[in-house]
């Protein structure tokens, strides 16, 4: 009898945690952000454009599923912010930064503030657009 109660409580906790996980992932705008990026046709496919995002499992799935759909679109230059190096940024003129749900690392913020100007931010989708200072690129 007691083991049935434990099983019931365990199942209730499991279902509750799964629901919370689903709601958190559902709240994030992976599909919408990918489509938003693909509307930036004048820059998103260029070799001097970089997309930066934060590291976590749903975002890796976001990259693999929504952004790297090679049958749908040309591949994009994408990097996780925790492994970015100065060499990754030095030849880039446009950077799209997806900052949900992981906050921007201070090292990335410092680099962007020093070399780029923020020209657009979509507060709903949590995407910021940066253009290299002195660049004539229009994003």
Q: For the full predicted model, state whether its pTM sits above 0.85.
A: no
pLDDT tens figures, 43-54: 988 999 999 987
CA dihedral (114, 116, 118, 119) positive or negative: positive
Closest residue by Cα to residue 122 from 104, 103, 96, 102? 96
How many residues are recorded in the chain?
139
Closest residue by Cα to residue 131 from 89, 98, 102? 89
pLDDT value at residue 25: 44
pLDDT value at residue 54: 78
pLDDT value at residue 69: 62
pLDDT value at residue 11: 55
Regions of the chain with pLDDT less than 70: 1-28, 56-74, 139
pLDDT tens figures, 25-38: 444 677 788 888 88
> Please, is 2 exposed, middle or buried when counting C-beta atoms within 10 Å of its C-beta (0-12, 13-18, 19+)?
exposed
pLDDT value at residue 82: 84
């Amino acid at each position: 009898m007691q083991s049935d109660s434990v099983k019931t409580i365990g199942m209730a906790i499991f279902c509750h945690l799964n629901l919370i996980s689903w709601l958190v992932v559902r709240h994030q705008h992976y599909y919408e952000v990918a489509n938003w990026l693909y509307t930036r046709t004048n820059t998103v496919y260029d070799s001097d454009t970089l997309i930066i995002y934060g590291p976590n499992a749903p975002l890796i799935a976001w990259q693999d599923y929504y952004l790297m759909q090679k049958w749908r679109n040309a591949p994009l230059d994408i990097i996780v912010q925790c492994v970015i190096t100065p060499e990754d940024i030095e030849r880039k003129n446009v950077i799209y930064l997806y900052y949900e749900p992981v906050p921007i690392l201070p090292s990335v913020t410092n680099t962007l503030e020093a070399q780029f100007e923020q020209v657009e931010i979509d507060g709903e989708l949590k995407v910021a657009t940066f253009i290299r200072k002195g660049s004539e690129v229009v994003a």
